[in-house]
Amino acid sequence: EEVVVFAAASLKTAMDEIAPAFEAQTGHEVTVSLAGSSALARQIEQGAPADIFISANEAWMDTLEEDGLLAPGSRSDLLRNSIVLIAHGADAVPVEISPALDLPGLLGEGRLAMALVDAVPAGIYGKAALESLGLWDTALPQVAQADNVRAALALVSTGEAPLGIVYATDAAADDNVSVIGTFPEDSHPPIVYPVAELAGREGAAAVAFLAYLHGSEARAAFEAQGFEVISQPGAGD
């Protein structure tokens, strides 16, 4: 049996590990389509042949749920992530992220690289965090918004922007940037990656894969990428 998984592109590395492992274990076949969460959600709305959707964006999952496109009861939160403040250079001086943070001082003439602050989750969370810390208004004029987190990271990595706000998972792997602070969890809505089975596509393989995602092998793969796996009541272990 075949399972088609639509997954946010940021999960590529993890999915590249999980899918073959699942296939080996169960004999099912997994096809993973990686793209932006919004594109995937739209495709699902237009009848894409997806069995499972892992979104990096809660809002899109909510939309699908409202439209009745999810298999009832199949939605759960799979992963948690955090956003961090990064600076260019391998060993930048850490700062304390608090309302007292002197962002303009740190930025100087430079830019604060973020993902699109009204459209892309990482940007939305970053904006919310800065707002709750009372830093947004001073930061706003210096914010440079990229179309995704990876592009924001690249801006800092190349030194184009001295600072940036990205996911912890992205920051970890780049030698040209250092994490100089993590935004407090309560400064923004929880960053979760919801997963769900799609309505009308329920099948044994899909159910099995869903379970596998919550299982220990998958957990290892996700954690290796820096994600925090949200424990499921009643799932796997």
Partner 1 sequence: MEWLGPEEWQAVRLSLRVSFWATLSGLPPALLAAYALARWRFPGKQLLNGLVHLPLILPPVVTGYLLLLTFGTRGPIGSVLQEIGLVFAFRWTGAALAAGIMAFPLLVRAMRLSLEAVDPKLEQAAATLGASRLWVFVTVTLPLILPGIIAGAVLGFAKAMGEFGATITFVSNIPGQTQTLPSAIYAFLQVPGGEHAALRLVAVSVAVAMSALLLSEWLARRAQRRVSGT
Cα–Cα dist 83/44, whole Å: 28
Q: Residue 49: name its binding partner from ligand MOO, partner 1, none (Cβ under 5 to 8 Å by kind).
A: partner 1
106 binds ligand MOO (CB under 6 A): no
Backbone torsion region of residue 65, taken as left when φ is above 0, otherwise alpha when ψ lies between -120 and 50, otherwise beta: alpha
Q: Looking at beta carbons only, is 83 or 146 nearer to partner 1? A: 146
Is residue 173 within a helix (H) or strand (E), and if so which, with residue range? none
Q: Look at residues 67, 77, 7, 5 and name the one whose alpha carbon lies nearest to residue 36.
A: 7
Min CB(115)–ligand MOO separation in Å: 7
Q: Residue 131: name its binding partner from partner 1, ligand MOO, none (Cβ under 5 to 8 Å by kind).
A: none
Cα–Cα dist 2/81, whole Å: 29
Q: Looking at beta carbons only, is 116 or 206 nearer to partner 1? A: 116
Q: Residue 177: name its binding partner from ligand MOO, partner 1, none (Cβ under 5 to 8 Å by kind).
A: none
Cα–Cα dist 98/182, whole Å: 10
Number of other CB atoms surrounding residue 109 within 10 Å: 7
Residue recorded with tokens 């996911």: 167
Q: List, as one string, the DSSP characters of 134-145.
A: T-HHHHGGGEEE
Segment interacting with ligand MOO (CB under 6 A) among 5-13, 62-70, 79-87, 152-160:
5-13
Min CB(15)–partner 1 separation in Å: 10
52 binds ligand MOO (CB under 6 A): no
Cβ atoms 144, 111 nearer than 8 A: yes
10 binds ligand MOO (CB under 6 A): yes
135 to 174: interface string for partner 1, x by CB under 8 A: --------xxxxxx-xxx-xx--xxx--------xx-xxx
Min CB(234)–partner 1 separation in Å: 30
Alpha-carbon dihedral 189, 77, 117, 143, rounded to 10 degrees? 80
Q: Which of 18, 52, 116, 210 binds partner 1 (CB under 8 A)?
A: 116
Q: Which residues does residue 86 pair with via DSSP β-bridges, in sequence order?
A: 164, 179
What are the residues binding partner 1 (CB under 8 A)? 4, 6, 9-13, 31-36, 38-43, 46-49, 59-60, 62-63, 111, 113, 116, 118-120, 143-148, 150-152, 154-155, 158-160, 169-170, 172-174, 225
